[in-house]
Amino acid sequence: MNGSRARFLPPLRFMRVKGDRIMTDTLHSSVLSSARPKPGSQVETEVLNRRDIFEKTQAAEIAVLTPTDPGGLSHDLRHALAARIAALHGEAEQAARYAAGVTDAALAPLASVGTTADDAQVQAMLTFTDAVSTNPREIVAEDVTALQSAGVSDADIVRLAELNAFLAYQLRLIAGLRLLVEAAE
Amino acid sequence: MSDEIIRRFTRNVPEWRPRVTPVKLAEATQEQLDALQVTPSNTKVSDYVLVLAHDVETLKVRSPLFNAIMYGKGGLSRAERELGALAASIVNHCIYCAAVHADRHAQLSKDKTVTDKLFAMGEQADLGPRDRAILDFGMRLARTPQQATAQELAKLREAGLDEGEILDLILSTALFSWANRLMHILGDPVRKSG
């Protein structure tokens, strides 16, 4: 279980004592596959103390990238936008991971920062995504109205905001954890 | 009667006026009702949550994640997790989030001076070394691209935070980088007048 169609990175494997036995356990988490805390380190211990948080974070990746009901945002478009958001955050590995989940060649270019779309709705979503990712403080009501004017439904506006918002969380969790892991080396 | 949009930081929690139409409770699907935790005895749901119900699959996983990060046992104190939330909310200028979590910080720490200074002087606020280190790290992590470095991390350690506390700080600031992008994007903080 990888969580979305995004490229698979190896899960975190760790040792766990159960009764008088030592066993290997596995935690599927895109965040941990990227930050890779060292086996037996204090960082790994604290991560495992919060195992539920990392599992719930992975469940959120599934809900945002490959929901059962994608509404007007196809799984392909979601992966392209996620890759673009990761690139805007300077997280190249995550950008590549999400871009690998785009199967529609027509949408693949949108993963790159600065590209535009011919479709007015998709273009409105790109403009909105770039602004929400990089400078959310400047967003005003007119930015939401622009989506509505382009024909994006209110439900899809919420889906798009959640996609941006979740990525803002996941990418910072990766970046912060990476700092902790590097400092421990 | 008109609503005034609040543009300055305050601990006095405003109302939230959605920019998109919330899901109507009477028209909600069973999945939405489950995620909203609507029961015959609990039918009061905020506009904010009714807006988020448009993406019910995400709402369903986000609420337990939010609770685990902000209220989970051990690690960083609850008041200091609120500071992590505030760091992001100030960077992202989410007036509503900042009000709720400044108020919560004041209650949990039984001290209003930290958030008074924060709102009066912003990022330059004159705070104790531990609060200062937490806010500096959080504010840098909240920017895009994130700007926290080994230097701000070292300041957290100097201020006495251990590995688990720092991880909780990363989590709360990251979580509000999410929450701010819903609250500040999908609605306005207002005060009803008239």
Q: Quick check: A3 pLDDT over 80?
A: no
Q: Tokens representing B81?
A: 């997790």
Residue B122 backbone zone (phi > 0: left; psi -120 to 50: alpha; other: beta): left
Q: Omega before B129 cis (within 30°)?
A: no
Q: How far apart are the first and last CA of chain B?
A: 5
Across the interface, do A180 and B167 touch by the CB < 8 Å criterion? yes
Q: How far apart are the C-alpha atoms of A56 and B68, rounded to whole Å? A: 9
In this prediction, residue B1 has a pLDDT band, given cuts at 50, 70 and 90, of low
How many other C-beta atoms lie within 10 A of the C-beta of residue A145?
A: 11
How many other C-beta atoms lie within 10 A of the C-beta of residue B101?
A: 27
Instruction: List the single range of B29-33, B36-40, B168-172, B184-188 with lowest mean pLDDT.
Output: B36-40
What are the residues whose beta carbons fall under 8 Å from the beta carbon of B132, sequence distance 6 or more?
B155, B159
Across the interface, do B150 and A179 touch by the CB < 8 Å criterion? yes
Shortest Cα–Cα distance, B191 to chain A (Å): 17
Across the interface, do A180 and B54 touch by the CB < 8 Å criterion? no
Which residues from A are below 8 Å from B148, CB to CB? 175-176, 179
Across the interface, do A158 and B54 touch by the CB < 8 Å criterion? yes
Question: Which among A52, A91, A132 is the nearest to B68, CB-wise?
Answer: A52
User: In chain A, whose CA is at the least distance from the CA of B182?
Assistant: A161
Please tell me the predicted confidence (pLDDT) of residue B194. Answer: 55
- Side chain identity at residue A143, one-letter code: D
In this prediction, residue A10 has a pLDDT band, given cuts at 50, 70 and 90, of confident
Across the interface, do A179 and B149 touch by the CB < 8 Å criterion? yes
Segment A20-33 shows an average pLDDT of 87
Shortest Cα–Cα distance, B100 to chain A (Å): 17
Its ipTM equals 0.96
Which residues from B are below 8 Å from A44, CB to CB? none
> Could you tell me what percent of chain B has a pLDDT over 70?
99
Please tell me the predicted confidence (pLDDT) of residue A21. Answer: 81
Residues 101-140 of B with CB under 8 A from A: none
Which residues in B49-65 are b (16+ Cβ under 10 Å) and which e?
Answer: bbbbbbbbbbbbbbbeb
Segment A99-121 shows an average pLDDT of 97
Q: Quick check: A2 pLDDT over 60?
A: no
Q: Tokens representing B171?
A: 């989590």
User: In chain B, whose CA is at the least distance from the CA of A70?
Assistant: B55
Query: Which of B64, B63, B104 lies closest to B81 in space, CA to CA?
Result: B104
Question: Which among A49, A148, A172 is the nearest to B173, CB-wise?
Answer: A172
Q: Quick check: B117 pLDDT over 80?
A: yes
Residue B17 backbone zone (phi > 0: left; psi -120 to 50: alpha; other: beta): beta
Segment B178-194 shows an average pLDDT of 93
CB A56, CB B178: distance < 8 Å: no
Q: To 10 degrees, the CA torsion angle through B153, B156, B162, B165?
A: -90
Mean pLDDT of chain B: 94
Please tell me the predicted confidence (pLDDT) of residue A1. Answer: 46
Please tell me the predicted confidence (pLDDT) of residue B41. Answer: 73
What are the residues whose beta carbons fall under 8 Å from the beta carbon of A13, sequence distance 6 or more?
A24, A25, A26
Q: How far apart are the first and last CA of chain A?
A: 30
Across the interface, do B58 and A177 touch by the CB < 8 Å criterion? no
> Could you tell me what percent of chain A has a pLDDT over 90?
83
Q: Quick check: A148 pLDDT over 90?
A: yes
User: In chain A, whose CA is at the least distance from the CA of B62?
Assistant: A60
Instruction: List the single range of A17-21, B68-72, B87-91, B128-132 with lowest mean pLDDT.
Output: A17-21
Query: Which of A86, A35, A128, A172 lies closest to B84 in space, CA to CA?
Result: A172
- What number of C-beta contacts closer than 8 Å exist between A and B? 167
Query: Which of B172, B169, B173 lies closest to B161 in space, CA to CA?
Result: B169
Q: Quick check: A131 pLDDT over 90?
A: yes
Across the interface, do A91 and B145 touch by the CB < 8 Å criterion? yes
In this prediction, residue A56 has a pLDDT band, given cuts at 50, 70 and 90, of very high
Segment B42-62 shows an average pLDDT of 93
In this prediction, residue A26 has a pLDDT band, given cuts at 50, 70 and 90, of confident
